[in-house]
C-alpha cells in the first residue's frame, strides 16, 4: 500500500498519513520514539492495540486513550475528547504528549489545514513531531514486523502475514472488510428501510461463509493452527457483535453465540486463550461509545446491560463436535454462495 505512494501525506487535504516504521527508513524502529492514539471502543484502533500487545510493544510504543463519548456532531466536530484527568473515565487517559482537550488538536499539529476526519488509531513520531499513519489496515499489515530488529527472537518470529498464506489472506480480507468489518456500519447507519434491507444481508452471508471456513480448517484460528491478521480483523468486529451490533445496528438476523457455534467457539478461544485480545477489550468503552454517541440511533443514550456474560467460557478444542451453524434466510444463503 504505502510503498506505492510518493508522499506520506498530502497536506491541506482529507488524505490521511501513510508512513511506515522500518529499518533504514524515515521512521526507524526505536524504543520510546513513537506514540499511539487510540479509542478502546473502536474496532479499527483495536487492531493496532492487539498487535501492540501481541508483539511485546507495550513498553516500546506508549498510548493515549480518548473517551468513548461524546463524539461530536454529524460531521465529527469537535470529535473525540481526552479526559481532563486519568481518573475521569476508567481506562481513558489524558493526552500524554501535548495535554490536548480534543484529538483534532493533535491532527492540526501535523497539518493545520487538514480536512479529513480525526480518527483513531493515529501513530505519532515524537522525534519529528508529526503523524506517521492513521490507516488501521496499513498498520495491521506492517506494524507486526516493524520492530522485529529490536525484539527478542521468540516475539519477532510471530508472523501474521506468512508468505504461503498471503493469497488466501488477501482474498478473504477483501470480502471480510466489505461485508463484515464495514458491513455492520452500512446496515447500522442505513437511513432507509431499503438501504438497511440491502446491507444487512451481506453481513450474515459472510458470517455463514466464515462459519464453514473455520470448521473446514479445523481451528483454532480461521486458517487453521496459526493466527494471521484475519483473526485480528474478525475479532475486533465479532467481540462487538452480540454486545452492540445485534441491537444497536439492527444486525439481528442471528447472534454469534446462538446461531454460529463454530464462530462462537473461535471467539471464545481468541478472548480466553490469546492474552493480547482479552487485555485490549474493554466492554464499558465499547458499549457506551455506540449507545451514547449515536444520538440519531439511540436518542436517550441508554446503554443495555446485556448480553451476559460478555464472552462465554469453555472452549471446545475438537471442532468436529460442533454443529456448523448459520442463518438460513434464503437471501443470506444466496449471498453466501457468491463468496470465494
CA-wise closest residue to 161 among 233, 212, 77, 209: 233
pLDDT at 75: 77
End-to-end CA distance of the chain: 23
42 is a catalytic site residue: yes
**Please, which residues bridge with residue 70 across strands?**
none
Q: Give the integer Cα–Cα distance in Å for 73 and 75.
A: 5
What number is the average pLDDT over the span 307-330? 97
- Please give the radius of gyration of the chain, using alpha carbons only, rounded to the nearest integer: 20
Q: Give the residue carrying C-alpha cell 506505492.
A: 4
CB–CB of 64/94 below 8 Å?
A: yes
The active-site residue, picked from 38, 42, 140, 319, is: 42
Distance between CA atoms of 133 and 65, rounded to whole angstroms? 17
| Fold classified for 163-336 | Glutathione S-transferase Yfyf (Class Pi); Chain A, domain 2 (1.20.1050)
CA 245 – CA 204 distance, rounded (Å): 12
**Cβ atoms within 10 Å of 59's Cβ, excluding its own:** 8
Percentage of residues of the chain with pLDDT beyond 90: 96
With cut-offs at 50, 70 and 90, classify the pLDDT of residue 3: very low
Q: Which residue intervals of the chain bear CATH 1.20.1050.10?
A: 163-336
pLDDT band at 5 (very low <50, low <70, confident <90, very high): low
**What are 200's three cell numbers?**
444487512
- What band does 247 get if pLDDT is binned at 50, 70 and 90? very high
For residue 190, the SS3 value is coil
* Cβ-proximal residues to 149 (8 Å cutoff; 6+ apart), any chain: 23, 29, 156
Which cell is 57 given?
510493544
Contact 148, 205 (CB under 8 A): no
Q: Is the pLDDT of residue 153 over 80?
A: yes
What are the cell numbers at 110? 501535523
Whether the CB-CB separation of 17 and 9 falls below 8 Å is answered with yes
Say whether pLDDT at 1 is over 50. no
Angle in degrees, 0-180, between the axes of helices 261-273 and 193-217, rounded to the nearest 10? 70
- CATH 3.40.30.10 intervals, the chain: 2-156
C-alpha distances (whole Å) from 189 to each of 18, 86, 266, 306 are 27, 32, 28, 22
Mean pLDDT value of segment 284-288: 98
Q: Which of 44, 26, 225 is nearest to 132 (CA)?
A: 26
Span 135-148, average pLDDT: 98
Instruction: Report the largest interatomic distance among the alpha carbons of the chain, rounded to a whole angstrom.
Output: 57
**Cα separations in angstroms, 48 against 22, 274, 323:** 16, 15, 33
* Residue 63: strand, helix, or coil: strand
- Express each pLDDT in 51-87 by its tens digit: 999 999 999 999 999 999 998 887 779 999 999 999 9
- What's residue 335's pLDDT? 98
Q: Which fold has domain 2-156?
A: Glutaredoxin (3.40.30)
Q: What's the confidence (pLDDT) of residue 249?
A: 98
Predicted pLDDT of residue 6: 58
The answer to whether residues 165 and 228 touch, using CB atoms and an 8 Å cutoff, is yes
pLDDT for residue 225 is more than 50: yes
Quick one: average pLDDT of 117-128? 97
pLDDT digits (tens, 9 = 90+) for 257-281: 999 999 999 999 999 999 999 999 9
What's the whole-model pTM score? 0.96
Q: Tell me if 119 sits within 8 A of 17, measured CB to CB.
A: no
Amino acid at each position: 500500500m504505502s510503498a506505492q505512494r510518493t508522499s506520506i501525506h498530502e497536506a491541506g487535504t482529507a488524505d490521511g498519513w501513510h508512513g511506515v516504521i522500518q529499518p533504514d527508513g524515515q521512521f526507524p524502529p526505536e524504543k520510546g520514539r513513537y506514540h499511539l492514539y487510540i479509542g478502546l471502543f473502536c474496532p479499527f484502533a483495536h487492531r493496532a492495540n492487539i498487535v501492540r500487545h501481541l508483539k511485546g510493544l507495550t513498553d516500546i510504543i506508549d498510548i493515549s486513550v480518548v473517551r468513548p463519548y461524546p463524539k461530536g456532531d454529524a460531521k465529527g466536530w469537535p470529535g473525540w475528547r481526552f479526559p481532563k484527568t486519568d481518573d475521569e473515565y476508567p481506562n481513558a487517559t489524558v493526552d500524554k504528549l501535548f495535554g490536548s482537550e480534543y484529538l483534532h488538536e493533535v491532527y492540526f499539529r501535523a497539518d493545520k489545514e487538514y480536512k479529513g476526519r480525526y480518527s483513531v488509531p493515529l501513530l505519532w513520531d515524537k522525534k519529528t513531531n508529526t503523524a506517521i499513519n492513521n490507516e488501521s489496515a496499513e498498520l495491521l499489515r506492517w506494524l507486526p514486523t516493524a520492530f522485529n530488529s529490536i525484539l527478542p527472537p521468540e516475539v519477532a518470529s510471530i508472523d501474521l502475514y506468512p508468505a504461503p498464506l498471503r493469497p488466501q489472506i488477501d482474498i478473504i480480507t477483501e470480502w471480510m472488510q466489505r461485508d463484515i468489518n464495514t458491513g455492520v456500519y452500512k446496515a447500522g447507519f442505513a437511513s432507509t428501510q431499503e438501504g438497511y434491507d440491502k446491507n444487512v444481508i451481506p453481513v450474515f452471508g459472510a458470517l455463514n461463509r466464515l462459519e464453514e471456513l473455520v470448521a473446514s480448517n479445523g481451528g483454532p484460528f480461521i486458517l487453521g493452527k496459526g493466527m494471521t491478521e484475519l483473526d485480528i480483523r474478525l475479532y475486533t468486529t465479532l467481540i462487538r457483535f452480540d454486545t452492540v451490533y445485534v441491537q444497536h445496528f439492527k444486525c439481528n438476523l442471528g447472534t454469534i453465540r446462538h446461531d454460529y457455534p463454530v464462530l462462537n467457539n473461535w471467539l471464545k478461544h481468541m478472548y480466553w486463550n490469546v492474552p493480547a485480545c482479552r487485555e485490549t477489550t474493554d466492554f464499558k468503552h465499547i458499549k457506551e461509545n455506540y449507545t451514547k454517541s449515536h444520538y440519531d440511533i439511540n436518542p436517550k443514550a441508554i446503554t443495555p446491560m446485556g448480553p451476559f456474560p460478555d464472552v462465554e467460557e469453555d472452549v471446545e478444542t475438537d471442532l468436529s463436535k460442533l454443529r456448523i451453524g448459520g442463518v438460513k434466510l434464503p437471501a443470506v444463503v444466496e449471498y453466501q454462495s457468491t463468496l470465494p
